[in-house]
Structure 1
Amino acid sequence: MTPINKLVAFILLLLWYAPLEIAHANDNQLLSQAELNELLKEYKLSGVSVAVIDDFNVVYSATAGEKVFGSGDSINQSTAFSTASISKPVTALLAAMLEEQGKLSLDDSVAKYLTRWTLQKEQFPNPEEITFRRLLSHTAGTTQSGFADFYKGDAVPTAIDSLNGVNVPRYDSPISLAFKPGESWSYSGGGYVIVQIALEDLTGKTLPELAEEMLFKPLNMVNTTMYQPDSPLFLQNVASVHHDDLSVIQSGYPICPQIAPSGMWSNALDMATLIIEMQRALNGDDTKVISQAVARNTTQIETLDVVGGWGLGWMRLEAKGNLEWFSHGGSNTGTGGQIMGTMRDGRGIAIFGNGGNPARIPVIETVIATVVEKLDWKKSLPVVKQQIPLKLLNDFEGKYLAGFGETIEISKQNNQLFYQGRLLLWSHIESGELVYLADGEFGVEGYPNRLSLETVSGKKRLKVSRKGSDKVSYFESAPQ
């Protein structure tokens, strides 16, 4: 190699591993510092970290507020937050990457890899049914939805204690099954703890070590870790968690022995790096560590039951701007955030805040809505401009049961259909129009799925489907 070629190669290497560069959008285009500060004041949130992605690049980033409310210690671009459940898609990525390396199969029973803990017959009569794929998509039927936080000075249980129901608030018995694996969906942080133990037993490394080695270091995510506050390897620049009254919760730094479901710390810019890596992989572009196969595998819809769309780790239920997203939210006591990236075109948002749900959630929702509107991301539904058959309108009318206990009523008004009731488990939208798409299918603004009508044994039901997926679910007719 000539000296010139060596120099070019060296420069390219530096660029490849350089920290994420930000092509800043004009502050007036999205949110100014004054607007962010006003949001914090209005909703009583201590601090926030935001990054926005457009065309596979970070075009806006900002922080506001304080690590400890009233301290004067400002949050900056390097400040990390407890991300809560946003740990889950990272865990799923590690499992999928290990499968790609030939070290496991996602369709294997985790029992094959567990050595420090086992699936007891009493709780798991058919352990071969408890696969990585089901655990990572919350379809294994496992219990233990979420966990309480611990702080310095607490008697912190181990991850195995947690699975056994020992010294963990909320649970006094071992993790078990709520339904037959593969037959429904139920959010289970405990299922992710099983994955954590299996990955550690398989590799001989802790989950924080695996995450550091396989994702965080290669992607130069220097402000992200799965090490906990009681570890000497924990980060130094971190935001404290707060009560709703803006007082700090105990030491301010929650310790989560259940690392896989809720133990990661990060910030908006580092999560933007991960989102872009995923998006480039999905697009077939060059990436550093996440292959197209891994990106597709983890974002592929595994179920539409109950929740309306879930992959491996990634939520597939977002439809902001009528776009298709992979995403995940996080909510531990006094902290949390949201990360989301479009499946195409490289758009995304990462946002974190250190405050309780009443303060944090409206700030997050306001920022996301502002970004989607100001960057003109919203797409129109593919409406068919034709008269909806009168019989179809009449047949659709009725009450239906969503898989999470909600009753949805569909009624006809002026040759249009309208619904009342939540279509998604965690949606705040409770009414709207059903827009005719074609071939008997209807769509809804901000809803990712399509609705059509089926009749089985003389009883009608709504079929829930997603374009590009073979998964279906049903809203059965409500009893008269």
Structure 2
Amino acid sequence: MQQATPLRVALMTAVFGLCSAPALAGDASSAMQEDRIARVESGLSTPVVIRGAGGGKMDLRARMAFHKVPAVSIALIENGRVEWARAYGVVNADGETPRTATVDTLFQAASVSKPVSALGAMQLVQQGTLSLDAPANDQLNAWKIPDNALTRATQPTLRMLLNHSAGTTVHGYFGYPQGQALPSLLQMLDGTPPADSDPVRVDVRPGTLWRYSGGGFSVVQLMVTEASGQSFGQYMQRAVLGPLGMTHSTFDVDLSPPQRALAATGFSTEGQPVAGGWRRYPESAAAGLWTTPTDLAQVVLEVQRAADGAPGKVLTHDSAQQMVTRGLGEYGLGLYVEDLGGRTSFAHSGGTNGFRAQIYGYTHSGQGVAILTNSDNGAALISEILASISAEYDWPEFKVTEKVAIAGDAANNQQIAGTYRLMDTPVVISAEGERLYLQSDLFGAARMELHAQSATAFFTTDQDMVLNVTRNAESKVTGVSLDRGANVYHAARR
């Protein structure tokens, strides 16, 4: 998408009036439902607002334009079913015949592929074909996790791989441009050409540390393909996508012509289309799913049903319970998990080149959502949509918080500015006079403004997060910590 020219704004405004799909049939209270949808569309908010700064609720279409997100698609779950699904915007680049987003538009799900892949692995566990707790290498044939002193002390297991606690490397994958040669799964695991990723190895003792690892899910991919005797895409179609009725979804790396006609083009932070429309991800289990929100909602519903004791189409009650029970970190098996007392929330987000995705669900309440966007800026928009949904449907999370900000101090900001490292990822803090900004790929490509609470504490409105500055005895800034809920993450200055 180009920068906002008058023609482009006019085109998007015209398209927005046509792109909303009707609410799902069979609802006797359609007028009330339409009112609720309208309130969601007009009720967006950043997670944090500044007291006295004005603002208030915002319109979805306006926020799409603000964040340069060409299209977003949403499926809302209420009372254990998809209550409504809507799509907004356009899904291709300037200069092409405009294609309106519909509820059937395909988006890359990115790391939301992981919980779907976990369902496939858990079904093989249910059948006794794979074991969660036997050594992973005992269940691998063509390739094995290279042995070292760490693996000899504790052998990685499928449970650890699904929990990101196996000590495996490779945080995520970059994808391959259209027309570029694709590596085999074994080449990806060993990081040999034409793979563009590092080899998957164990460099932390398994079972001792939670560390996100797309590489670990590539090991899961090999375990699943060898145990099932099928390609990963074939197995997932037979074992998960088909039974759940995910008729628009595929793990195939290359889309068929009909699928390509439904696929959204991905867009960069600056609003430029990804070359070729999108990149290809042969790291299927970690990042390869193409889908729609209505299809992804079936995954949320399956976990809810099975975890609550109702018959699942793919999962047993025990499997679902294990998936939504925390191991190390804030993670179960393929899902981020939060115990809220009367219910458990489970979720996953994801990002590939040009796409951002999110699923969220609750046990015991039949509530949840799936949201897909075709922009690197999509995470910020998704956060604002979640705040609106939470307010309308009375969710226990994503409540908007009001905070007080004080005037910034240019000299203090200059002392804090610099590069830090958090979870092996750079965190760049930059100063512009009295304003201070933070950027890290951990939170997205766009930078976030830091608002001062004191000389050493700052908050963002984009996320409910506080940054605290650490100084040594000479008052030199040595690091920062990020407080998110009950968790504190420390970042040292580089």
2:279 is the alignment partner of 1:254: yes
What's the CA shift for 1:210? 1.4
Q: 1:22 to 1:238 in 2, by over 3 A?
A: farther
Residue in structure 1 matching 2:317, options 257, 274, 292: 292
Q: Within 5 Å, give how 1:119-130 maps onto structure 2.
A: 119-122=145-148, 125-126=151-152, 129-130=155-156
2:212 is the alignment partner of 1:194: no
What's the CA shift for 1:247? 2.2
2:130 is the alignment partner of 1:112: no
Question: Is 132-141 or 92-101 further displaced after alignment?
Answer: 92-101
Residue in structure 2 matching 1:76, options 73, 82, 102: 102
Which residue is equivalent to 2:187? 161
Helix, strand or coil at the partner of 1:29: helix
Structure 2 gap ranges (5+): 1-23, 44-57, 400-421, 428-453, 469-482
Residue in structure 2 matching 1:310, options 313, 328, 331: 331
AA paired with 1:311?
A: G
Is the CA contact 1:113–1:199 (under 8 Å) kept in the aligned structure 2?
no
Which residue is equivalent to 1:59? 83
In the alignment, the residues of structure 2 paired with residue 179 and residue 82 of structure 1 have an alpha-carbon distance, to the nearest angstrom, of 31
Is the CA contact 1:145–1:189 (under 8 Å) kept in the aligned structure 2?
yes
2:361 is the alignment partner of 1:325: no
What's the CA shift for 1:317? 4.8
AA paired with 1:204?
A: G
1:195-250 deviation per Cα after TM superposition (whole angstroms, max 9, x unaligned): 11111111111111111111111111111111112667956411111122322211
Q: Within 5 Å, give how 1:51-450 maps onto structure 2.
A: 51-70=75-94, 71=96, 72-122=98-148, 125-126=151-152, 129-167=155-193, 171-172=197-198, 174-229=199-254, 236-304=261-329, 309-317=330-338, 324-356=344-376, 359-378=377-396, 428-430=464-466, 447=485
In the alignment, the residues of structure 1 paired with residue 149 and residue 176 of structure 2 have an alpha-carbon distance, to the nearest angstrom, of 27
In the alignment, the residues of structure 1 paired with residue 166 and residue 182 of structure 2 have an alpha-carbon distance, to the nearest angstrom, of 27
What's the CA shift for 1:294? 1.7
Q: 1:354 to 1:22 in 2, by over 3 A?
A: farther
AA paired with 1:240?
A: T
Q: Within 5 Å, give how 1:13-24 maps onto structure 2.
A: 23=27
In the alignment, the residues of structure 2 paired with residue 427 and residue 114 of structure 1 have an alpha-carbon distance, to the nearest angstrom, of 41
AA paired with 1:349?
A: V
In the alignment, the residues of structure 1 paired with residue 396 and residue 296 of structure 2 have an alpha-carbon distance, to the nearest angstrom, of 23
In the alignment, the residues of structure 1 paired with residue 174 and residue 110 of structure 2 have an alpha-carbon distance, to the nearest angstrom, of 11
1:344-375 deviation per Cα after TM superposition (whole angstroms, max 9, x unaligned): 2111011010011xx21221011000000122
In the alignment, the residues of structure 2 paired with residue 168 and residue 181 of structure 1 have an alpha-carbon distance, to the nearest angstrom, of 29
Q: 1:109 to 1:236 in 2, by over 3 A?
A: farther
2:55 is the alignment partner of 1:30: no
What's the CA shift for 1:280? 1.4
What's the CA shift for 1:32? 6.0
1:128-185 deviation per Cα after TM superposition (whole angstroms, max 9, x unaligned): 611000011010000011111112211211221111111367645x321221000111
Aligned residues: percent identity?
Answer: 27
Is the CA contact 2:265–2:273 (under 8 Å) kept in the aligned structure 1?
yes
Helix, strand or coil at the partner of 1:378: coil
In the alignment, the residues of structure 1 paired with residue 287 and residue 398 of structure 2 have an alpha-carbon distance, to the nearest angstrom, of 36
In the alignment, the residues of structure 1 paired with residue 152 and residue 293 of structure 2 have an alpha-carbon distance, to the nearest angstrom, of 41
Helix, strand or coil at the partner of 1:77: coil
Is the CA contact 1:225–1:235 (under 8 Å) kept in the aligned structure 2?
no
In the alignment, the residues of structure 1 paired with residue 67 and residue 26 of structure 2 have an alpha-carbon distance, to the nearest angstrom, of 28
Is the CA contact 1:277–1:290 (under 8 Å) kept in the aligned structure 2?
yes
Helix, strand or coil at the partner of 1:51: strand
In the alignment, the residues of structure 1 paired with residue 457 and residue 324 of structure 2 have an alpha-carbon distance, to the nearest angstrom, of 28
What TM-score does the superposition give when structure 2 sets the normalisation length? Answer: 0.69
AA paired with 2:285?
A: A
In the alignment, the residues of structure 2 paired with residue 107 and residue 361 of structure 1 have an alpha-carbon distance, to the nearest angstrom, of 35
Is the CA contact 1:119–1:127 (under 8 Å) kept in the aligned structure 2?
no
Which residue is equivalent to 2:435? none
In the alignment, the residues of structure 2 paired with residue 348 and residue 268 of structure 1 have an alpha-carbon distance, to the nearest angstrom, of 11
In the alignment, the residues of structure 2 paired with residue 431 and residue 95 of structure 1 have an alpha-carbon distance, to the nearest angstrom, of 38
Is the CA contact 2:109–2:288 (under 8 Å) kept in the aligned structure 1?
yes
Is the CA contact 1:227–1:233 (under 8 Å) kept in the aligned structure 2?
no
1:278-315 deviation per Cα after TM superposition (whole angstroms, max 9, x unaligned): 111112223322221221121111113xxxx1001001
What's the CA shift for 1:427? 6.1
Is the CA contact 2:324–2:344 (under 8 Å) kept in the aligned structure 1?
no
Which residue is equivalent to 1:14? none
In the alignment, the residues of structure 1 paired with residue 254 and residue 216 of structure 2 have an alpha-carbon distance, to the nearest angstrom, of 23
Task: Quote the RMSD (CA, aligned, Å).
Answer: 3.5
In the alignment, the residues of structure 2 paired with residue 141 and residue 241 of structure 1 have an alpha-carbon distance, to the nearest angstrom, of 32
In the alignment, the residues of structure 2 paired with residue 207 and residue 264 of structure 1 have an alpha-carbon distance, to the nearest angstrom, of 11
AA paired with 2:346?
A: F
Is the CA contact 2:116–2:299 (under 8 Å) kept in the aligned structure 1?
no
Is the CA contact 1:221–1:273 (under 8 Å) kept in the aligned structure 2?
yes
Is the CA contact 1:51–1:268 (under 8 Å) kept in the aligned structure 2?
yes
What's the CA shift for 1:322? 11
What's the CA shift for 1:186? 0.8
AA paired with 1:363?
A: L
AA paired with 2:333?
A: L
Structure 1 gap ranges (5+): 1-19, 382-402, 407-417, 433-444, 450-463, 465-473
Q: 1:204 to 1:348 in 2, by over 3 A?
A: same
What TM-score does the superposition give when structure 1 sets the normalisation length? Answer: 0.71
Count of residue pairs the alignment pairs up: 380
